[in-house]
Amino acid sequence: MSVLILADHHDGQLAGTTAHVVAAAQQIVKDSGGDIDLLVAGQEVQSVAEQAAKLDGVNRVRIVDHTVYAHQLAEPLADLLVRLADDYSHVLASSSTTGKNVLPRLAALKDVAAISDILDVVSADTFKRPIYAGNAIATVQSADPLKVLTVRSTAFDAAGETGSAAIEAVDATVDNSLSSFVDERLEQSERPELSAARVVISGGRGMGNGENFKLLDGIADKLGAAIGASRAAVDAGFVPNDMQVGQTGKIVAPELYIAVGISGAIQHLAGMKDSKVIVAINKDEEAPIFQIADYGLVGDLFQILPELERSL
């Protein structure tokens, strides 16, 4: 058994989620003692490969440096993975937008099923994953020769960084006339990445408008927290969509999640209910969020937030 992991990276930085995917791979090879390889595909990704080589349990880092992979487009990445996949029993990626974009394409090209967003490795061919917005957990078994899996990174502890895997260049370029990169508009933020933050504070429709989200800034700064939002807040145009926590946004499982002015719809809970401690601040005593919150505070967020910031 051997596992190939497609590493997520951006701007020369390896994404933190990759260490969690390595941990999932370690569970897959636990009994067989197979190898775990990491694939770093992109343009000018030497530093990413060096970061990846430090992850514990990684046998080797395979690096492919070419302009065709520069923007992580699905068409060339899937073709590249098809070329490499025959040496492996499993191909993994995190459930990032890149992993979700590329891996099903690979699976179809190899005529095998893809298994999305695994939460647990039962054995090398059996996995647990959430369905119905996390309201049920399915156990699925794959009889396919190649297992193609995306991994919910918050469900696995990160692998350590004391390793020193070999870095090997792979000479594999593919043609891509199907798609081309046009541009990218990324949100700039000094705060920790939402899906990896230890503390997350999220605002919902109750915030009233985008301007009021500034009330969360001071608290987030004091707690070293990332700021998230409910779909209602995103759809109302208060904040950009990449802040959305939920079934259709990001899945987070921080140590502390503070939901402010969020009612707690099924869609939102799917994205945060595995947080260790949940705090709800809402003026509606009956809001469903209080049914899962460890600590609830009923009141006006416009009074509570400034007071909270002062008291921290």
Partner 1 sequence: MKVLVAVKRVIDYNVKIRVKPDHSDVDLTNVKMAMNPFCEIAVEEAVRLKEKGVATEIVAVTVGPKAAQEQLRTALALGADRAIHIETDERVESLAVAKLLKAVVDEEQPDLVILGKQAIDTDNNQTGQMLAALSGMGQGTFASEVAFGDGVEDGYVRVTREIDGGLQSVALKLPAVVTTDLRLNEPRYAKLPDIMKAKKKPLDSRTPEALGVAVSSGLELLKVETPAERKGGVKVGSVDELIDKLKNEAKVL
152-191 positions binding partner 1, by CB under 8 A:
177-187
Least distance (Å) between residue 103 CB and partner 1: 8
Least distance (Å) between residue 116 CB and partner 1: 5
**Which residue is it, tokens 């970061």?**
51
101 part of the interface to partner 1, by CB under 8 A: yes
136 part of the interface to partner 1, by CB under 8 A: yes
In 73-128, which residue ranges form alpha helices assigned H by DSSP?
74-85, 97-109
Q: How far apart are CA 85 and CA 69, in angstroms?
A: 17
State the pairing for strand pair 226-229/36-42. Answer: unpaired
CB 266, CB 231: distance < 8 Å = no
Annotate each residue in 276-295 with x if it binds partner 1 (CB under 8 A) or - if it does not, as one string: xxxx----------xxxxxx
Tell me which residues in 16-55 interact with partner 1 (CB under 8 A).
none
Q: Which residue lies nearer to partner 1 by CB, 57 or 249?
A: 249
Least distance (Å) between residue 60 CB and partner 1: 26
- Look at residues 88, 98, 140, 143 and name the one whose alpha carbon lies nearest to residue 119: 140
62 part of the interface to partner 1, by CB under 8 A: no
Q: Name the one range near partner 1 by CB under 8 A: 28-36, 56-64, 166-174, 240-248.
A: 240-248
Rounded to 5°, angle at Cα 225 from 310 and 239: 95
Q: How far apart are CA 71 and CA 132, in angstroms?
A: 32
Q: Which of 174, 242, 253, 302 binds partner 1 (CB under 8 A)?
A: 242
Q: Which residue lies nearer to partner 1 by CB, 53 or 68?
A: 68
Q: Which of 60, 71, 191, 283 binds partner 1 (CB under 8 A)?
A: 71
Q: How far apart are CA 71 and CA 120, in angstroms?
A: 30
Q: How far apart are CA 276 and CA 304, in angstroms?
A: 22
User: Could you tell me the two tokens for 82?
Assistant: 């098809």
Tell me which residues in 105-124 interact with partner 1 (CB under 8 A).
105-109, 111-117
196 part of the interface to partner 1, by CB under 8 A: no
